[in-house]
Amino acid sequence: MVGTRAFDTECTHLQRQGQLALWVPSVGQEGCQVGLGRAAEPQDHIFPAYREHLVAKIRGVDFVNLAAQFRGLTHGGWDVTDPANGNFHLYTLVLGAQTQHATGHALGQLLDAKRAAADTRLDPGEAGTATGEATMVFYGDGTTSQGDANESLVFAASYQTPQVFVVQNNRWAISVPVARQSRTPLYRRALGFGIRSVQIDGNDPLAAYAVGRRFLDLARTGHGPGYIEALTYRIGAHTTSDDPTRYREDGELEHWQERDPIKRLEAYLRTLGVEDAFFAEVWESADREAKRARDAILNLPAPTADSMFASVYSEPHPRIEEQRAWLERYESSFEGADGTKRGSDQ
Ligand SMILES: Cc1ncc(C[n+]2csc(CCOP(=O)(O)OP(=O)(O)O)c2C)c(N)n1
Ligand SMILES: [Mg+2]
C-alpha cells in the first residue's frame, strides 16, 4: 500500500513535469485493492478499470509498464498472454467495457470446465459446475450506471458464471456524487439481479481479503457470481486533469484523510506491537522503489512505428502486411540522397 502511494505521488509529479500525458491516482483506495488483489489465486483472471495500480502490482505487472501507457508509449503496457503478468488484463478506459470482457471470460471458464467433464450443454440458471478458477472485475460507482455493467450482471446471473464483481465506491464519478447515480446502496442493486452481494468497509484491507476469498471460493466451486461494494474514498483528484476543490463539500476530504487505509492499518499494527523502525523501513523502501520506477519511466524507449501492426491479429494478415509495407515505403521516402534520414522519427 505504501509502495503504491509513493509511486502514485511520483507519477503525479511526472505528469506535472510534462513526462506523462495524464495520471490517474489511486490514493485512498489502497485498502480494498490490497485485500482483494491478495484474495485472488494465481489461476484467476482480473479485469481492471484504470485505477487498480496496487492490484496490478500484486499480480506482477511492473509499475513502469503501468506508466508507459500514460506516457503514450503503448496501447496497453503489458502482455496479457504472458503468465508473468498475473492474468491481469489491460486497463480499460471505456467505462464498463471490462465488465463484458470479464463476463465473457467467466463464461469461457465455465464452458472449459463443462467440456472437460464431457458436458457440452450450457443451461441458463444451472449452477454447480466447479471451474477451479474465477474472474474478478473492478469498476467504479459511476460505472454502475452504464448499460454494459448491468447487462453483464444479467448474463452472470443467467449462466451462473464463476466471477466476482467489485465496485470501488469512491463516492465520485469525476464531479458527480454517488447519491445522484443511485437512490439505493449499490450492493442492493445486485440483489435485484439475483446475485449474492455485500457491502464492505473498503478501507479495511482485512475485510476486503476475507470477503474476496470467500466470494472467489464460491465462484470457483460452482456457486455462481458475487458482487462486492467496497466503500472507500478517492482522496486525490479524479485524474491530473481534474480539480476536486470545485465540487467537494467542505470538510469531506479531511473526514476521509482521517480514515486513510494506510493510517488505519498502521494503527492496527501498532496495537500488535509493531514498532517505529518497521514503518520507517517501509516508507524508505517505498521511496527507493518509486525513484527506481521514475528513472526507468524517463528512460523508456519510444516504440518503433511498425510496432502498431504487431498485435492487430494473432496471425499474419495480408491487409496488415500491405499497410506495413506502405509505411516502410513512406518512411524511406524521407531518406536524403546522402543516405541520412529526415522526418519526425529522427
Ligand atoms: C463510456 C464512457 N463514458 C464516459 C467516460 C468519461 N469518464 C471517464 S472516468 C468517468 C467517471 C467514472 O467514475 P467511476 O465509475 O465512479 O470510477 P472512478 O473514476 O471514480 O474510479 C467518466 C464519466 C468514459 N471514459 N467512458
Ligand atoms: Mg467513483
Q: What is the pLDDT of residue 11?
A: 98
Task: Let me know: does 113 contact 132? Beta carbons within 8 Å.
Answer: yes
Residue from 95, 172, 229 whose mutation best tests the ligand 1 pocket (most atoms within 8 A of CB): 95
| Phi, psi (rounded to 5 degrees) for 323 | -70, -35
d(CA 240, CA 233): 17
Task: Let me know: does 124 contact 157? Beta carbons within 8 Å.
Answer: no
Does 238 sit in the ligand 1 pocket, CB within 6 Å? yes
**What CATH number belongs to 2-298?**
3.40.50.970
d(CA 97, CA 152): 10
Q: Which three cell numbers stand for residue 291?
A: 525513484
CA 79 → CA 61, 66, 71, 85, 110, distances in Å?
A: 9, 12, 17, 7, 24
Atom of ligand 1 nearest to the CA of 51: 21
Does 138 sit in the ligand 1 pocket, CB within 6 Å? no
Task: Let me know: does 69 contact 91? Beta carbons within 8 Å.
Answer: yes
Q: What is the pLDDT of residue 342?
A: 56
**Which residues have C-beta within 8 Å of that of residue 290, sequence separation ≥ 6?**
3, 6, 7, 9, 10, 63
CA 316 → CA 307, 309, 313, 320, distances in Å?
A: 14, 10, 7, 8
Q: Provide the total of helices (H) and of strands (E) in the chain, helices listed first.
A: 13, 7
Q: What is the pLDDT of residue 26?
A: 98
Q: What is the pLDDT of residue 123?
A: 73
Take atom 7 of ligand 1 and give the residue whose Cα is closest. Answer: 95
Tens digit of pLDDT for each residue in 217-239?
A: 999 999 999 999 999 999 999 99
Cα 271 to the center of its chain, rounded Å: 32
d(CA 153, CA 194): 9
Q: What is the pLDDT of residue 339?
A: 61
**Which residues have C-beta within 8 Å of that of residue 329, sequence separation ≥ 6?**
none
d(CA 20, CA 71): 4
The residues whose Cβ lies within 5 A of ligand 2, an ion, are 140-141, 170, 173
Helix (H) or strand (E) holding 37: helix 30-39
Q: Comparing C-alpha atoms, which of 264, 276, 291 is closest to residue 1?
A: 264
Shortest-distance ligand to the CA of residue 50 = 1
Q: What is the pLDDT of residue 53?
A: 98
Q: Comparing C-alpha atoms, which of 237, 284, 246, 174 is closest to residue 12?
A: 237
d(CA 130, CA 114): 9
Cell 448474463, located at residue: 155
Q: Domain-by-domain residue ranges, the chain?
A: 2-298, 305-346
Per-residue pLDDT of the chain (346 residues; tens, 9 = 90+): 999 999 999 999 999 999 999 999 999 999 999 999 999 999 999 999 999 999 999 999 999 999 999 999 988 889 888 888 999 999 999 999 999 999 999 999 999 999 888 877 777 667 788 999 999 999 999 999 999 999 999 999 999 999 999 999 999 999 999 999 999 999 999 999 999 999 999 999 999 999 999 999 999 999 999 999 999 999 999 999 999 999 999 999 999 999 999 999 999 999 999 999 999 999 999 999 999 999 999 999 999 888 889 888 989 999 999 999 999 999 899 887 666 665 544 4
Q: Comparing C-alpha atoms, which of 170, 235, 276 is closest to residue 4?
A: 235
Tens digit of pLDDT for each residue in 180-226?
A: 999 999 999 999 999 999 999 999 999 999 999 999 999 999 999 99
Residues in the chain: 346
State the DSSP code for 162: S
Q: What is the pLDDT of residue 84?
A: 85
Does 302 sit in the ligand 1 pocket, CB within 6 Å? no
Cell 501492426, located at residue: 309
Q: Which of 115-149 are b and which e, b meaning 16 or more Cβ less than 10 Å from the residue's Cβ?
A: eeeeeeeeeeebeebebebbbbbbbbbbbbebebb
d(CA 199, CA 185): 9
Q: What is the pLDDT of residue 310?
A: 84
Cβ atoms < 10 Å from Cβ of 151: 14
Shortest-distance ligand to the CA of residue 171 = 2
Task: Let me know: does 300 contact 73? Beta carbons within 8 Å.
Answer: yes
Q: Which of 329-338 are b and which e, b meaning 16 or more Cβ less than 10 Å from the residue's Cβ?
A: eebeeeeeee
Does 173 sit in the ligand 1 pocket, CB within 6 Å? yes
